[in-house]
Amino acid sequence: MLLAIASWESKEIRDAMEASQPEAARRIIAEQAPFVDIRVIGEFEDADWIVKPGGGAENSDGEP
């Protein structure tokens, strides 16, 4: 079993990366596809709010 976890600054940046993969990466993925079983087990969007250590919270715009 292999578990891969990755993060990007935003979903838009992640999608742009996936859309512009180098040809070598696409070739490697295609060559290995018959030997792997890929299952996405989850995906999430960043929360609209952030809990700060010591109490308090703010929304994604930095407002309380």
Residues 57/49, Cβ–Cβ less than 8 Å: yes
In a domain, 6, yes or no: no
Confidence category of residue 3, pLDDT binned at 50, 70, 90: confident
Q: Rounded to whole angstroms, how far apart are CA atoms 17 and 64?
A: 33
Three-state secondary-structure class, residue 23:
helix
Number of structural domains the chain divides into: 1
pTM equals: 0.44
pLDDT on residue 64: 57
pLDDT digits (tens, 9 = 90+) for 5-64: 777 888 888 889 888 989 998 899 899 999 988 787 777 676 677 777 877 666 656 665
pLDDT on residue 24: 93
pLDDT on residue 17: 86
In a domain, 2, yes or no: no
Domain of residue 26: give its range.
Answer: 11-59
In a domain, 3, yes or no: no
